[in-house]
A and B are shown apart, each in its own frame.
Chain A
Amino acid sequence: MGLKMRLWMLISAVIILSVISLFIGAINIKPSDLLDWESLETQIFLISRLPRLLAIILAGAGMGIAGLIMQSLSRNKFVSPTTAGTLDAAKLGIIISMMFFTSMSYIGQIMFSFAFALIGTFIFMQLLERIKFKDVVFVPLIGIMYGNILGAISTFLAYEGNMLQNVDTFFQGSFTLVVSGRYELLYVAVPAIIIAYIYANKFTVAGMGEDFAKNVGLSYRAVLNIGLVIVAIISTTVILTVGIIPFLGLIVPNLVSLYLGDNLRKTIPHTIFMGAAFLLICDIISRLIVHPFEIPVNTTVAVIGSAIFLIMLFRGKAYAKK
């Protein structure tokens, strides 16, 4: 199958899934209801369903791109915001800002969380440079451990501050709370993705390793830092609006890499649409499985994602090593 064809299929999948996503939910909305501008259905559609759809698409595409960049820069197929402590660091940042800087504005909290995500990921990358044993599986395991340490600090702080419950709901990873007014921060992911595309060739060259990069005159460190900033921006906006979406950044870029390789200029568009489609499917499942109620999307993502991840681990260890 041609590559153009595949991209079109992904785009079509996203469109079809979007339509499905718009018309399922606790309240039944028919397309004909939307003709009446004043109707309750139209209001729900505009205030809840549409923002939710946009949030899913942006979060799915964004997490896919964040994972892709991290895999390229770390030169490890199994590194992603979930397996490098990025998400946990962002979470820690929010908790600290909520606990110790109670008067801080929302923007202040966002910046705080962003700074933590950035520093947290940076520390992991530094760690990665220092360890000698760069096994494809060993590296993400270290990342997960590192993330768990950050997570433990978060839990401890939240426990001490009697906020455990709040924190749990906050990061549940759900689109139920996504209504207009609460998700707009996700738009920040759009320029981040565009910049990622502009830098695609640089990321690919950096992914060939420092020596290759220097040989063709790329300022390796600068590209690395730009990549980390993009990853931190996307991760923070996603975590603050919809919570933690695990595994997506890991499996989507890997699935794309399987048929398309690792030239980011080629893989970024596919990653965007596959990420969106993947999250749309998970969200639709979450909403249908106990209809008219729904389960948190990150539960669905975790179940499906970890299954795919395990398959990749067992079947793909050889492939990831190449």
Chain B
Amino acid sequence: MIEIKGLSKSFGKKTVVEDVTLKIQAKAITSFIGPNGAGKSTLLSMVSRLLDADTGEVLLDQSDVKKMKSDAFAKRVAILKQANHLNIRLTVRELVSFGRYPYSKGRLNKEDQKFVDQALEYMNLTDMQDKFLDELSGGQKQRAFISMVIAQDTDYILLDEPLNNLDMKHSVQIMKILRKLVDELGKTVVIVLHDINFASVYSDRIVALKDGRLVKDGPTHEIINSDALREVYDMHIPVQVQDGCRICVYFNSHN
């Protein structure tokens, strides 16, 4: 379990994450939602140690993440950031192989290769594994990055808007794979999503941020309703139930 305790972060005078305290349940999918600029990415970066918090702490299974060794941490928590401008030419397979870096330091053994093969297959990339990343479409590239994170085989997987650039089919496919990672392999997934219907259908819990503050934190069905969503987005969001899923139909909404 990840415990976030009183985490704050300011850039200059602007406080972008303010005193956020929450527990991220293990072996579940938790979606972070909220308007642009709410502080979701900043929070995720602090949890994954890419960014230092001003105050507060993050505990990973009771131990302070700041005190963990970097390679030990890399075997437990993987993060994929929102925008990935990789301007080096690697093949898809090379990129995914670097997901094994915490274990192999670049010299992959048989087991590492197995993880790489599997991660490529999960993301439907086996056929393209020898292509250079700069020869891929935006969505294919995104899948390669996710594949790298999966190859890292960590208990905790943090993904910041991983569905960016992906078509519907691949979005659904990735959410299904994340579900499988949680249900079958017992991983913990934290994911930032703007499409709240994906959040509604696939996540166990939802955390909503707004202006740097935590405004909602609970099981999915408690958050996906018009009242709670109005608090988050300042907008009327009708919710319909379809095939047992709560679907938000906000496309033609009037405040």
Residues on A facing B (Cβ under 8 Å): 72, 75, 77, 200-202, 204-205, 207-209, 211-212, 214-219, 257, 261-263, 265, 321-322
Contacts and interface: CB of A to CB of B under 8 A. Distances in A.
B105 A214 contact: no
A217 B71 contact: yes
Interface string B63-85: 00000001111110011110011
16 contacts: A72-B88, A201-B98, A204-B106, A207-B88, A209-B86, A211-B79, A211-B81, A212-B84, A215-B80, A216-B74, A217-B72, A261-B94, A263-B90, A263-B91, A322-B89, A322-B134
A237 B68 CA distance: 40
B48 interface: yes
Interface in B21-41: none
A73 to B, nearest CB: 11
Chain B interface residue number, banded: 20 to 34
Nearest to A217: B74
Contacts of B94: 261, 263
A216 B98 contact: yes
A321 B106 contact: no
Nearest to A266: B94
Contacts of B49: 214
A322 B135 CA distance: 10
Most chain A beta-carbon contacts within 10 A, residue among B49, B85, B87, B99: B87
B202 interface: no
B152 interface: yes
Given A204-B90, A212-B86, A322-B89, 5 more contacts: A201-B101, A202-B106, A211-B79, A211-B81, A214-B50
B122 interface: no
Contacts of B91: 261, 263
A214 B70 contact: yes
A209 B50 CA distance: 12
Interface in B101-124: 101-102, 105-107
B92 to A, nearest CB: 11
B198 interface: no
Given A214-B49, A216-B152, A263-B94, A75 B101 contact: no
Most chain A beta-carbon contacts within 10 A, residue among B48, B86, B106: B106
B106 A215 contact: no
B134 A217 contact: no
A261 B84 CA distance: 18
A316 to B, nearest CB: 12
A265 B106 contact: yes
Nearest to A77: B87
A316 B70 CA distance: 37
Contacts of A261: 88-91, 94, 132
B101 A205 contact: yes
B88 A216 contact: no
Contacts of A75: 87-88
Nearest to A219: B70
4 A-B pairs with least C-beta separation: A217-B74, A201-B106, A217-B71, A262-B88
Contacts of A265: 106
Nearest to B91: A261
A301 B74 CA distance: 45
B71 A204 contact: no
Given A205-B98, A216-B102, A217-B75, A257 B70 contact: no
Nearest to A220: B70
Contact of B101 (A207, A211, A216): A216
Contacts of A211: 50, 79, 81
Interface string B121-138: 000000000001010000
B74 A321 contact: no
Contacts of A262: 88-90
Contact of B79 (A72, A205, A208, A215): A215
A202 B74 CA distance: 15
Most chain A beta-carbon contacts within 10 A, residue among B48, B70, B88, B99: B88
